[in-house]
Amino acid sequence: MPFQIHVGPNIRKSPYFDATVADGVRSFSVYNHMYIPGNFGDPEGEYRRLLNGVAMWDVGAQRQVEIAGPDAEVLVRYLTTRDLSGTRAGQGRYVPLCNHDGILINDPVLLKLSPTRYWLSIADSDIALWAEGIARERGLDLRVFEPDVSPMAIQGPKARDLARDLFGDWILDLKYFWFREVEFDGIPLVVARSGWSKQGGFELYLMDGTRGSELWGRVKRAGRAYGIGPGAPNDQERLESGLLSYGADARYQQFPANPFELGLGAMVNLDRPDEFVGRTALRQILERGVRRRRVGLFIDGEPVASNGHPLDLTLAGEAVGVVCEVGFSPRLRRSIAIALLDNAVGDDEAGLSVDLGHDRRRASVARLPFA
């Protein structure tokens, strides 16, 4: 090994860490200052279980930012671009967060636990600091903190059967993004119909970090009947499905993008009555004209392994966009990518190419989702 990564307290372990090590995790990434499994050494099997069976994922690094107190709703509304009126207790919503320049800084799932208590289930950026700073500057009466809550996901077409075996028939009636608090053999959980794939499934938010191995073991044993196996948020499936990956498709420090460019325009409710961070800037962005759009790309030639970095997208030698992430699609049997493309370039442009560093490939625009 050319180098080692130090496992220490500066990067946190999820409550499922030991269980995933025991199950043969082969790579970790870091997300919200916490290790998150990347794969278990069987990419074909992990993808196949997600599409045809059921996979279990340690997504404890999807940290919760709890906002609780009399002004909790005021802050949550102020932080998000989306109109939250009509949101009920027990309901989740996908809520883009922008900074004051209208740049996306996170895209959490919001869980409304009660009218005075919310969780933001965040992507990889420091939203607790942001939320607390804004709340304190505005003199709001609430607390912002990270509770002892760590999700794991079961995803795939057989997740329904597994969830029914674990929790009972009521779970089949749970609507998308809705959730319920349950005691599962004495383990406190929030169970939601959600998850970062388009294959369907549930997320189990563990509310006692000492019981990660126990929960992991229970799900694994119950899942044997359905051929369950460990996995992780799957880049091939998310590319095919066109799911937004904050951190890959946009990250405000390195490759900033606004929600209109990212296809989240319907979740920016500029004319709602209550104020929110970024509204003025977002109005200006629309007035001046949105300059890029998020597209799929087909990439010619030999299969391209996934890449970790934005790549240049060019037309006749001119930069016309950035390729956010590339991967091989098992369903389409070709390399695909998600990119941000200048609006001056049409969908039928034939001369696009991607600079892979060692190689230059022809690319063509595809509609999202791919599959």
Q: Can you tell me the distance from the alpha carbon of 335 to that of 354, in angstroms, rounded to the nearest whole number? A: 12
Type of residue at 321? G
Report in angstroms how near the CB of residue 100 gets to ligand THG at its nearest.
Answer: 21
Tokens coding 232: 């992780």
Report in angstroms how near the CB of residue 192 gets to ligand THG at its nearest.
Answer: 7
Collapsed DSSP state (helix, strand, coil) of residue 337? strand
CA of 124: how far to CAs of 46, 59, 191, 328, in Å?
23, 12, 22, 24
Q: Can you tell me the distance from the alpha carbon of 342 to that of 340, in angstroms, rounded to the nearest whole number? A: 7
CA of 334: how far to CAs of 236, 245, 300, in Å?
11, 21, 8
If the CB atoms of residues 123 and 313 are measured against ligand THG, the closer one turns out to be 123
Report in angstroms how near the CB of residue 28 gets to ligand THG at its nearest.
Answer: 17
Report in angstroms how near the CB of residue 215 gets to ligand THG at its nearest.
Answer: 16
If the CB atoms of residues 104 and 315 are measured against ligand THG, the closer one turns out to be 104
Beta bridge partners of 64: 121
Residue ranges of alpha helices (H) inside 80-200 are: 127-137, 159-167
If the CB atoms of residues 148 and 300 are measured against ligand THG, the closer one turns out to be 148
If the CB atoms of residues 179 and 354 are measured against ligand THG, the closer one turns out to be 179
Beta bridge partners of 319: 314
Report in angstroms how near the CB of residue 12 gets to ligand THG at its nearest.
Answer: 16
If the CB atoms of residues 177 and 184 are measured against ligand THG, the closer one turns out to be 177
If the CB atoms of residues 244 and 338 are measured against ligand THG, the closer one turns out to be 244
If the CB atoms of residues 195 and 212 are measured against ligand THG, the closer one turns out to be 195
Other beta carbons within 10 angstroms of residue 214's beta carbon come to 17
Type of residue at 131? A
3-state secondary structure 200-247: CEEEEEECCHHHHHHHHHHHHHHHHHHCCEEECCCHHHHHHHCCCCEC
Report in angstroms how near the CB of residue 3 gets to ligand THG at its nearest.
Answer: 29
Report in angstroms how near the CB of residue 284 gets to ligand THG at its nearest.
Answer: 26
CA of 272: how far to CAs of 7, 81, 83, 133, in Å?
46, 9, 6, 24
Tokens coding 74: 């005021």
Report in angstroms how near the CB of residue 195 gets to ligand THG at its nearest.
Answer: 5
If the CB atoms of residues 265 and 301 are measured against ligand THG, the closer one turns out to be 265
Collapsed DSSP state (helix, strand, coil) of residue 311? strand
Tokens coding 309: 């970095």
Q: Can you tell me the distance from the alpha carbon of 5 to that of 199, in angstroms, rounded to the nearest whole number? A: 33
Report in angstroms how near the CB of residue 301 gets to ligand THG at its nearest.
Answer: 29
If the CB atoms of residues 228 and 262 are measured against ligand THG, the closer one turns out to be 262
Per CB under 6 A, residues contacting ligand THG are 62, 94, 107-109, 121-123, 151, 194-196, 203, 243-244
